[in-house]
Structure 1
């Protein structure tokens, strides 16, 4: 990301007006920040923040938070004419105690001996490459964010607590301890109220983060007194990394200490947002603007969890699709719950290229609502994609291709002049298509034989295709297939009308083609598929189905 928008986007009056009027959610959020400073000057730097808990491996939800916040940051820079400095802090709560061991990490027996310790004091269970579990997960997060080219400043809670970056506000928290408790206690159950403290001391004896009540809070000396795990009374300063704050007060403390202007978080934090704000205010800060997004769910509809390792990982998505498709998935409907598993990938890929194709033809008002404008910081690339990803998948399925050279044989015949050199993006997608098919489509393929009506329909379709010229395009082939279906009562849809005035064609006809010819429940537009695969090859596929060879194979 460049330091000035002028390098990527000319901020003409037309663009600025379109930004001011845009209903795209990043612009709506950006305008909240502008309104925040209405009637007064902007600070030297407007600060955006995202939070990450390195108790488990980074997952796509973590990436989504950074990507979405970056989109809001970019929208803010546009509507302010790029005249205000901004910064994105990616904050890792790596001083949090390890309360449970993630299911998806190695050396679990070793980790059990370190339960309760700050994540940056738990050994690296992966390879001993890093000084701690927290550091290892932080490195994974940073490597991924760097891979995407995000412009951010990484922040470690351990570093901030131990270096003194939070000391001023921590001392203020000691002074205003009673106010913080008055805010917190009504939110807790009776039993929890009796032992609650906003301060979590780190035991000088065991190194574990302690959830213990305070015996004394000394505002004058900035210390807290409590009983350690062995019953010994201990007094510690709240500064210097000896103490961290409970996670709810920690939100507000961090906002006050760092002057955060905008932070988004998941719906699970929504009920606590007002409490975070109140703590921030008590500690002398102005609460940031919020954006609460819906949660990501796995295939069973369960919330994605770092400790469970359910749902897609970042690397898994990028094994089967380009990065831009993942960014699109994050942009779309952030306030709607989304299932995040492998089935969503092909649609996300094709949607991305569809938006990209539409962009040059749009007026600025619509361009600024187009996801690709936000994905590419206002400068989407010019990419021609003659074959959609879903169609590539079905070409792999029908041709049994295991290398992209086979696919290119079909593609070059379908679109003369299109080669891996002229269309590198399409070449990249052929590799993704083969991987995705091998791992997800092929194992689930189930061919069935046709019944007598379907057999007659397939025979008629094969004969109809034989009458077409070899160079027939997708529209001609689709029309031929529709003509066949209209003549068969089972496939007539009387709720629709054909161009000739007769009944339309039921989707059941094309579902039958997918099931019998491709072994799948869904497929591409038949005419487009047959044009790409070839009439001769499609007729041969139909003949194999009629002979039962696809089931046998």
Structure 2
């Protein structure tokens, strides 16, 4: 199956791609997909869905040979709403509330020009790693350059009609719906494009859809008190006490209110596809209102599927203003780019899902590896091939061909890598020694074939591995426990170390006789069988007594080796510790 063969599959990406093409054809315009991101704080994994849904659709259409552009609108001219809890920021930033994000200083220690640039930069790097091709548009640049002046004047001329439209939707005094004014299940409302706390332009002096930034204090705590349509003179007052009259056709220090700004930009960019979160799609919300406002600018509301909440396993829902939320860049410290792409591609946009960065993360790698094995065989279903291809490659517009994203050449199980890195504390020489012994039939002479997965596992162990899962090998034998062993336990340890006198596979040799993962596995699982008169390699099913005996013996080994009832797989653990130290910790001295 080639890169283009699966474009006819009946999955959500293909269906949305078909709908995007049909919508554009009906409106006699090219397909243009859009994302809107407000760099008001850390741009978290919930925001990333705003980018990944249109990206996957655009990538699908490019593979079909169609022209499509993906734009990302950086809403960096939005107001700074509150001071988030992020490193390098303190209460002194409160003086900047109400200013455009591009006029707020970056956090201490950052070399970025401003607040917005600091948080944009991190996401931009992650999008490059993820293979997302887009054209970024700074709303600060668009507004301050005068690119929107004609649209602003048109909105002011149509303010009566706009006000009448909004009046049908208003549900709160400040003009936003409950879903947009409060945190939704998708993400904190202020962290998405067009923050929910924006007023809609209504006030005691009338309705004005334009909000100027004060020329004295720089904030948007302003109120428009009058406007002359002929001269375009606009008068405003500010909370700081400043009053000013400006000529709107020449004024570039303000912006349209969000519910007018968003549909205006649909028309300006001729957007045909733009998803949004549940907070923007409830009755009275921006997307709903935009359906009626967009025609005033000569455009239709684009095709806009709703996307649902993206969570982090073990964490509450994400909020950029609260800080401490995982961003795409953080996730990519532990997940290779194709895996992160796969997580966003395998679920329909309206299905919520979690990204596991805790102890469940190794399972994500296991599921991915299973998919890779399946697609490498003869029985893979088209859907499996499509899911893998969309995750592992992108259509490169520059070369007009599929570009594979970097993947680990020799992928060992993530959990195994993490366990060994944990035990060796990241020592490369010891790590190579252990990993080379895991697969003796495929000699490993360097760690490079295991990268970048090994590097991801190393970072995860250092930064995210649950404390309860960490492995600390004893430095000396547990003399008290060894002295309290039962006769059966002592016999089990002797069998493990010295063998049964009968060679493998029926019996057990000395532990060091076959110091490979397979040999140690045979030894560890064979002890309980030999103690019950069975062959060490005998397959026994449904013997609850034997199963209980094996579990009890494993617990004993964990207690003697790492002081816990559980730990990494015992064969891997023994291999990592080394034969000499295993003997030192397990030998029963008379």
| 1:96 to 1:501, Cα distance in 2 relative to 1, 3 A | closer
Deviation at 1:157, TM superposition (A): 0.5
Deviation at 1:260, TM superposition (A): 1.2
- Inter-partner Cα distance in structure 2 for 1:140 and 1:153: 16
Which of 6, 18, 21 aligns to 2:9? It is 21
- Structure 1 segments unaligned to the other structure (5+ residues): 1-8, 490-497, 548-553
Deviation at 1:408, TM superposition (A): 1.1
| 1:148 to 1:369, Cα distance in 2 relative to 1, 3 A | closer
- Inter-partner Cα distance in structure 1 for 2:265 and 2:490: 67
In structure 2, what is the equivalent of residue 302 of structure 1?
316
Q: Give a deviation string over 1:55-103, Cα, whole Å, max 9, x none.
A: 213334444533443222111223xx21x32112121111111121222
| 1:280 to 1:68, Cα distance in 2 relative to 1, 3 A | same
Which of 41, 54, 69 aligns to 2:54? It is 69
In structure 2, what is the equivalent of residue 99 of structure 1?
81
Which of 390, 393, 407 aligns to 1:376? It is 393
Relative to the length of structure 2, the TM-score reads 0.73
Deviation at 1:117, TM superposition (A): 1.2
Would you say 1:187 and 2:165 are equivalent positions? no
Count of equivalent residues: 516
Determine which structure has the larger helix proportion and give its number.
1
Which of 488, 492, 499 aligns to 1:460? It is 492
Which of 369, 372, 384 aligns to 1:353? It is 369
In structure 2, what is the equivalent of residue 275 of structure 1?
289
Matches within 5 A, 1:154-169: 154-169=136-151
Q: Give a deviation string over 1:313-348, Cα, whole Å, max 9, x none.
A: 444334444333333333343521425644443333
| 1:176 to 1:222, Cα distance in 2 relative to 1, 3 A | same
Whether contact under 8 Å (1:261, 1:289) holds in the other structure is: yes
Deviation at 1:155, TM superposition (A): 0.8
In structure 1, what is the equivalent of residue 33 of structure 2?
48
Matches within 5 A, 1:408-487: 408-416=432-440, 417-419=442-444, 421=446, 424-441=448-465, 443-444=467-468, 445=470, 460=492, 463=495, 466=499, 467-468=507-508, 470-471=513-514
Aligned-residue Cα RMSD (Å) equals 4.1
Would you say 1:232 and 2:281 are equivalent positions? no
Q: Give a deviation string over 1:491-533, Cα, whole Å, max 9, x none.
A: xxxxxxx855544947976994796455678766656x36864
Q: Give a deviation string over 1:16-72, Cα, whole Å, max 9, x none.
A: 3x321232x32232122022135675x3x4222211112213334444533443222
Which of 20, 29, 33 aligns to 2:20? It is 33
Which of 406, 409, 431 aligns to 2:430? It is 406
In structure 1, what is the equivalent of residue 105 of structure 2?
123
- Inter-partner Cα distance in structure 1 for 2:274 and 2:553: 47
- Inter-partner Cα distance in structure 2 for 1:499 and 1:408: 35
- Inter-partner Cα distance in structure 1 for 2:393 and 2:557: 36
- Structure 2 segments unaligned to the other structure (5+ residues): 176-201, 395-401, 500-506, 533-538
Whether contact under 8 Å (2:214, 2:222) holds in the other structure is: no
Whether contact under 8 Å (2:126, 2:332) holds in the other structure is: no
| 1:219 to 1:348, Cα distance in 2 relative to 1, 3 A | farther
Deviation at 1:232, TM superposition (A): 2.9
Matches within 5 A, 1:139-288: 139-185=121-167, 186-190=169-173, 194=203, 197-210=208-221, 212=223, 214-222=224-232, 224-229=234-239, 230=241, 232=243, 234-237=245-248, 240-271=251-282, 272=285, 273-288=287-302
- Inter-partner Cα distance in structure 2 for 1:71 and 1:404: 38
From the CA coordinates, give the structure whose radius of gyration is larger. 2
| 1:324 to 1:217, Cα distance in 2 relative to 1, 3 A | same
Relative to the length of structure 1, the TM-score reads 0.78
Deviation at 1:109, TM superposition (A): 5.0
Whether contact under 8 Å (1:461, 1:481) holds in the other structure is: no
